[in-house]
Amino acid sequence: MAMTLVYLVQHGEKQPIPGDPELTKLGRGHAARTGQWLRNAGLGAVYSSPARRAWQTAEIIADVVGLSVVADARLRERANWDATQPIADFLGDWAHSTHDRDFVPRCGDSSCTAAERLRSFIVELATAPAPVAAATHGGVTVDLLRTLLGDQALPADLVTDGMPSCAITTLDGLNVVDIASTRHLT
């Protein structure tokens, strides 16, 4: 059975503020380059996390490839800092949930739950008629990769430092083809 290629796109660089920040000018530029690269991929759909930074990334990509964006909450981040707790506490929870994948932070999901949520999105698309792009977040993408491949198979800095702006992780069904590629941005 042929599987569907899924391009998980890390959202573009965001404004350094809490809540639901917009993309920076650099982030919008990276999203446009990502759309140009995906233009020849034969996409059948563009999905997005409901978070503004991912939605703006997806809108820019969708505009370039001539599609509309479909929201899917399974693409949301593991946790999002909304300033209801001090940043130090949020970062502590994030680090704890990275180390202990079953730990549930005060404002989000455990790493294992986030990975399963994203995995269910990928499985649902397994027989889609054309490749899809999905604008999502670095934490949840890394959570999925850790589940599919194990920590030893990932570059160490990916787990500790996160995904670069508009990095593309390519999956063929649940088979990982490429991790956090930024070649399209150069």
Predicted local confidence at residue 1, as pLDDT: 53
Which fold, 5-76+111-185? Rossmann fold (3.40.50)
Give the residue extent of every domain in the chain: 5-76+111-185
* 171: amino acid identity, one letter: L
Most confident of 79-83, 156-160, 165-169: 165-169
* Gap between the Cα atoms of 115 and 101, Å rounded: 10
Evaluate if residue 15 carries a pLDDT over 60. yes
* 43: amino acid identity, one letter: L
For 121-150, the pLDDT digits (tens) are: 999 998 888 999 999 999 999 999 999 999
For 19-40, the pLDDT digits (tens) are: 999 999 999 999 999 999 999 9
Q: Report how far Cα 182 is from the mean position of its chain's Cα atoms.
A: 14
Predicted local confidence at residue 99, as pLDDT: 94
Burial class (CB in 10 A: 0-12, 13-18, 19+), 172: middle
Q: Is the pTM of this model over 0.85?
A: yes
Phi, psi of 136 (to 5 degrees): -140, -150
Burial class (CB in 10 A: 0-12, 13-18, 19+), 8: buried
Predicted local confidence at residue 2, as pLDDT: 62
For 90-109, the pLDDT digits (tens) are: 999 999 999 999 999 998 99
Residues 61 and 133 sit within 8 Å (Cβ to Cβ): yes
As a whole number, the mean pLDDT across the chain is 95
